[in-house]
Amino acid sequence: EVQLQASGGGLVQAGGSLRLSCAASGFTFDDYSIGWFRQAPGKEREAISCINSRDGSTVYADTVKGRFTIQSDNAKNTYYLQINSLNPEDTAVYYCAGDLGGCPLVIYEEYFGSWGQGTQVTVSS
């Protein structure tokens, strides 16, 4: 059973940075993709980015390009989301999700079958 655990959230001031982690376990696939999503209070879940473990290819949602960077450490089965220049609108629960194969050209949550529990990011002004 694939398990994903997101961590690294917290309270940060506007302008700061965070690196979220997603630890993956329970599988040995070499062609697996991890996506990051976020859900702000009262809003729908929003796709952020996706990375494929086999070739490191990445996809970013148009709405977040520039301040977000997705990375992977295959040796640790850990995937990261670096967020820079945080602003209060980034306040949300951030989730990682995974599934076999490459990232979809347009990231959507139904593509991913396994989900982590989420980590809260709160940005103060």
- Per-residue pLDDT of 58-91, as tens digits, reads 999 998 878 999 999 989 999 999 999 999 999 9
How far, in Å, CA of 42 to CA of 60, rounded?
23
User: Checking DSSP bridges between strand 119-124 and strand 18-25, what pairing results, if any?
Assistant: unpaired
Residue 51 three-state SS: strand
Contact 86, 18 (CB under 8 A): yes
pLDDT of residue 69: 97
End-to-end CA separation in angstroms for the chain: 40
pLDDT per position as a tens digit, 88-120: 999 999 999 999 999 999 999 999 999 999 999
